[in-house]
């Protein structure tokens, strides 16, 4: 190529770069004026993969649970035989949580807690505790952890759910048909439902 | 400047562009091999601002509710005097939902629903319905909507919560001290708690 061709290629390149800079600058101006809407849109959470049915043979080596009643957590421990569980409880459910702890240890699981939640209506409390406990379970080498949101009051469940989402853990719900005569869940209908399960097939 | 200076500036520019392209290419190669971890990290949801106490004079013109019992929704309607509400109910709570609808209409609110949730243990059902109804409330001109996650089973609450997060709406919980003798919430202690409130101060 001649020197003149090179010169023109260079000039085209410079004009092109100027135009791109101008576009970037204009985009920047728009972004400053629309910053609120851009931030809101950008910050929004997304839940693309929720509520699927899980396979019968899905297994997690570790669980985090909010405790209210004993039946479903005990079913989970028998059914999954986890290596470790972490328990969150309230003043009302403390005794049940101790009972579940004994049951889990009998089944060979290491148990963290039960840890007390002071105000069950404050999601930030269960969120912070759950995040800490998920970290600790990970440090003990459990890479795959499920957060069971079945027990506890709604803000506790949502707090634990938020911690699961932030840590990239699965969140599950234990579902069972209710026996109206015996006033407790029918054990044979118990199954694990997915709330949000990024780590399952 | 002389032609020689320009020539050298161009050459520096070309070498610089080549280095940048090389870096982009190398980054791309790393990204392909680490794509799983990058995607997981990128996709994770974040909840930076949860569980705060709300001011007494916080007002929302529209609400979406999961219905189980009548007391707290009625308190919310009396306390907030919303222009519109949307109701999600199950077979069990359908009658209560109709009762709340009549109550809300008497207080001048437009009511969408009650819409039925077939399987209260499936969060994707309440998630999809709640997303549709939030859209419809927005189309009616209500920009500021709160999703009340107090009622319904846990998967319904979490489904509605996820729809609120995706739409950038506030989610709230109605909290009241429980009267053990009368076996119902004490009305004078009732207050609105924030679950996740991006639109409040």
Q: pTM, whole model, 2 decimals?
A: 0.81
Antiparallel, parallel or unpaired: β B110-116 and B84-89: parallel
Tens-digit pLDDT profile for residues B144-201:
999 999 999 999 999 999 999 989 899 999 987 777 787 777 778 888 889 998 777 6
CB contact under 8 A, B40 and A123: no
pLDDT at A35: 79
Query: Measured over all CA atoms, what is the biggest interatomic distance in chain B, rounded to whole angstroms?
Result: 95
Chain B segment 83-102 residues within 8 A of A by beta carbon are none
For an interface test with B, the pick among A51, A148, A160 (most B C-beta atoms closer than 10 Å) comes out as A51
Are A82 and A61 contacting, i.e. CB atoms less than 8 angstroms apart?
A: yes
Are A76 and A67 a contacting pair, CB within 8 Å?
no
Cβ B154–A154 below 8 Å, yes or no? yes
Residue contact B173–A121, C-beta within 8 A: yes
Task: Give the closest-approach CA distance of A81 to chain B in angstroms.
Answer: 24
Does A173 contact B50 at a Cβ distance shorter than 8 Å?
no
The mean pLDDT value of chain B amounts to 87
What's the pLDDT band for A98 if we cut at 50, 70, 90? very high
First CA to last CA across chain A, in angstroms?
A: 57
How far CA B73 is from CA of B78, B109, B158, in Å, comes to 9, 13, 18
Beta-carbon separation of A44 and B124 below 8 A: no
What is the number of CB-based contacts under 8 A between chain A and chain B? Answer: 111
Can you name the residues that pair with A153 across neighbouring β-strands? Answer: none
Q: What's the complex ipTM?
A: 0.80
Q: Which residues of B39-70 are buried (b: 16+ CB within 10 A; e: fewer)?
A: eeeeeebebeebbeebeeebebbbbbbbbbeb
Gap between the terminal Cα atoms of chain B: 58
| Contact flag A127-B157 (C-beta cutoff 8 Å) | no
Cα–Cα distance measured from residue B113 to residue B103, given in angstroms and rounded to the nearest whole number: 13
**What is the DSSP code string of chain A?**
--HHHHHHHHHHHHHHHHHHHHHHHHHHHHHHHTHHHHHHHHH-----SBSPBPPTT---SEEEEE-S-SHHHHHHHHHH--SEEEEEE-TTTHHHHHHHHHHHHHTT-EEEEEEEPS-TT-HHHHHHHHHHHHHHHHHTT---EEEE-SSS-HHHHHHHHHHHHHHT-EEEEEE--EETTTTEE-GGG-EEEEEE-TT--
**Cα–Cα distance between B146 and B115 in angstroms, integer?**
18
**How many whole angstroms separate alpha carbon B56 and alpha carbon A142?**
44
Q: Mind listing the pLDDT tens digit for each residue in A118-175?
A: 988 999 999 999 999 999 999 999 989 999 999 999 999 999 999 999 898 999 999 8
Q: Which residue of B has its CA nearest to A165?
A: B45
Q: What is the pLDDT of residue B177?
A: 78
Q: Are B86 and B137 in contact (CB under 8 A)?
A: yes
**B167 to chain A: closest CA residue:** A44
Minimal C-alpha gap between A154 and chain B (Å): 6
Q: Which residue has the higher pLDDT, A179 or A139?
A: A139
Percent pLDDT > 70 in chain B is 97
Exposure b/e, B149-171, CB count within 10 A at least 16 = b: bbbbbbbbbbbbbbbbbbbbbbb
What residue in B sits closest to A168 (Cα-Cα)? Answer: B44
Q: Do A124 and B159 touch (CB under 8 A)?
A: no
Rounded Cα distance, B69 and B92, in Å: 10
The residues pairing with B192 across neighbouring beta strands, listed in sequence order, are: B174
Tell me which residue has tokens 């054990």. A187
């Amino acid at each position: 190529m001649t020197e003149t061709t090179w010169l023109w290629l260079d000039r085209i390149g410079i004009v092109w770069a100027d135009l791109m800079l101008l576009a970037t600058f204009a985009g920047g101006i728009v972004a400053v004026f629309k910053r609120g809407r851009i931030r809101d849109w950008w910050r929004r959470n997304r839940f693309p993969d929720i509520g699927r049915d899980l396979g019968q043979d899905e297994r997690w080596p570790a669980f985090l649970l909010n405790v209210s009643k004993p039946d479903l957590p005990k079913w989970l421990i028998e059914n999954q035989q986890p290596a470790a569980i972490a328990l969150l409880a309230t003043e009302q459910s403390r005794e049940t949580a101790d009972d579940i702890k004994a049951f889990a240890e009998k089944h060979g699981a290491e148990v963290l807690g039960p840890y007390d939640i002071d105000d069950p209506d404050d999601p930030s409390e269960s969120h912070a505790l759950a995040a800490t406990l998920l970290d600790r379970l990970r440090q003990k080498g459990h890479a795959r952890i499920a957060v069971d949101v079945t027990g506890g009051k709604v803000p506790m469940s949502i707090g634990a759910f938020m911690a699961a989402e932030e840590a990239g853990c699965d969140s599950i719900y234990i579902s069972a048909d209710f026996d109206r005569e015996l006033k407790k869940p029918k054990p044979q209908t118990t199954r694990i439902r997915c709330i949000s399960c990024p780590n399952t097939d």
